[in-house]
Chains A and B, each alone.
Chain A
């Protein structure tokens, strides 16, 4: 199976704090990998190292076998690494459709072509397909700021898929979403994984969400990988139980 993402020995220290201390894992094509761990275990720091927000002290990140360590977030995105944020990050003053066009436009042609080309960078059909996929049709023209929290969360996720990414990293997609919307979000993510063969990494606190969505789970504690494997195997692992429940 093709390895989309490989993370080898990533290390990031802040002063004496070993936030991430030699983490390695990989993501296969078409997989939904869960990354879990108690608060402060270094998940977000690891995410930021992979995504170019932080540069790791040591180690390397490979996308389809090519080293991508230390690239800018915008460069990574254009190589096909897409993400969502823990807190909502849609553009409230743009319409739902405009948000999606924005999410795809930098992947279309050169800057000059975009300036003289069509106003929507030819992305209206793609945006409308994505709107239909996430069932936001009735909101297409609305400003994103006027949507409910759950709807914005769906839009946020839709934006991550707009450019047909190779890999999507979702940072706590279930945070603050009500149960109905959560089921809807999970169902849409599974559908996109099935239909487009998209590959995800999901950071999440909601164990039930992770266990039912992911095919494989990596558990982190104190900056290291504690366990990895199928959701059932990880849940049964005594080390994992101890990390979550304390000593």
Chain B
């Protein structure tokens, strides 16, 4: 087989330099919004694995974002750890908690799984709000440091944005690797036909737990970047609504499509900021856009492109068929005669 660069990978590698240079002119608030888009894309990528590829409905991604953010905040502020170490621990912790929460996913599906994960989200929120000795309660944790890495001070808006971009690139490549490995094929098989998958030797339990845990680890990783991005965390951004918005992000972008989370996160986290200029109307406009999108394309924004492509290829096929019809008609006679 010849080594051809995969189109998905090509888009990732082309987007990187554009995203590296494009926001250079933005002021600190603009940089914050773009960095937030990337951070939430990471969390949505994780949920896209659990929901879009493995077919598990989770309402806990906001909670994993919170677990990652709090773990990083506590480790860097209270214990004085470095960000890279805290990042690894936060991601690992989310992975471990994800495995534990994955066990119910083996027993219940769809709405029921959504309820189990919803309960978990509420518990995480309550712990963050009530365990003041650890999390600072409603006052939160302030002065989360932005580190100096390899001699580069990440304190500034642009430098930190670029740091987030690099981490996003690495995690995107990790996700790409995962989805194009035999694991990705197994996840897809379980979503499409679990019975058949099991009959082909695919261990449903192991893969379901892994999908959940890896998706959660991405949520934790996003949280770990979120904490130093906003430099202050309290329980509010990790409430149940955060999980709902992340679910919306994945669905709006196109569940099960590789770039869906990025498109969806643009929709959920950047569009509201762009609409802010409309004053008090922005939430209403945003809600209307969501409604129309869900009605027009339940498969998300990228699903819209797929449908357009299908439509075009169908029309092309129809044209070819129409052109071929007279010839077929002429041949029909002798063909029928020769068939025995």
Least CB distance from A212 to B in Å reads 21
- Whether the pair A115, B200 counts as a contact (CB closer than 8 A) is no
Among A73, A83, A102, A116, the residue within 8 A (CB) of B186 is A102
- Whether the pair A89, B196 counts as a contact (CB closer than 8 A) is yes
**A74 at the binding interface (Cβ < 8 Å):** yes
Nearest neighbor of B192 in chain A, beta-carbon distance: A91
Number of A-B residue pairs with CB-CB distance less than 8 Å in the complex they form: 76
- Whether the pair B193, A124 counts as a contact (CB closer than 8 A) is no
Nearest neighbor of A73 in chain B, beta-carbon distance: B198
- Whether the pair A159, B200 counts as a contact (CB closer than 8 A) is yes
Contacting residues of chain B (150-192) with chain A, CB-CB under 8 angstroms: 178, 180-183, 185-186, 188-189, 192
Interface residue count on the B side (C-beta < 8 Å): 23
- Whether the pair A106, B185 counts as a contact (CB closer than 8 A) is no
* Segment at the interface with A among B133-141, B202-210, B319-327: B202-210
Nearest neighbor of A105 in chain B, beta-carbon distance: B182
**B295 at the binding interface (Cβ < 8 Å):** no
Q: How far is the CA of A107 from the CA of B200 in the complex (A)?
A: 9
Nearest neighbor of A107 in chain B, beta-carbon distance: B201
**A133 at the binding interface (Cβ < 8 Å):** no
**B336 at the binding interface (Cβ < 8 Å):** no
- Whether the pair B198, A105 counts as a contact (CB closer than 8 A) is no
**B274 at the binding interface (Cβ < 8 Å):** no
Nearest neighbor of A119 in chain B, beta-carbon distance: B180
- Whether the pair A77, B181 counts as a contact (CB closer than 8 A) is no
Least CB distance from B181 to A in Å reads 5
- Whether the pair B206, A105 counts as a contact (CB closer than 8 A) is no
Nearest neighbor of A106 in chain B, beta-carbon distance: B201
- Whether the pair A51, B185 counts as a contact (CB closer than 8 A) is no
- Whether the pair B201, A163 counts as a contact (CB closer than 8 A) is yes
**B2 at the binding interface (Cβ < 8 Å):** no
- Whether the pair A51, B203 counts as a contact (CB closer than 8 A) is no
Least CB distance from B145 to A in Å reads 34
- Whether the pair B182, A121 counts as a contact (CB closer than 8 A) is yes
Among B181, B195, B198, B201, the residue within 8 A (CB) of A119 is B181
Residues in B lying within 8 Å of A, measured CB to CB? 1, 178, 180-183, 185-186, 188-189, 192-193, 195-204, 206
- Beyond A94-B188, A106-B203, A119-B182, 6 extra complex contacts between A and B, CB < 8 Å: A73-B195, A74-B203, A106-B201, A111-B206, A114-B183, A115-B178
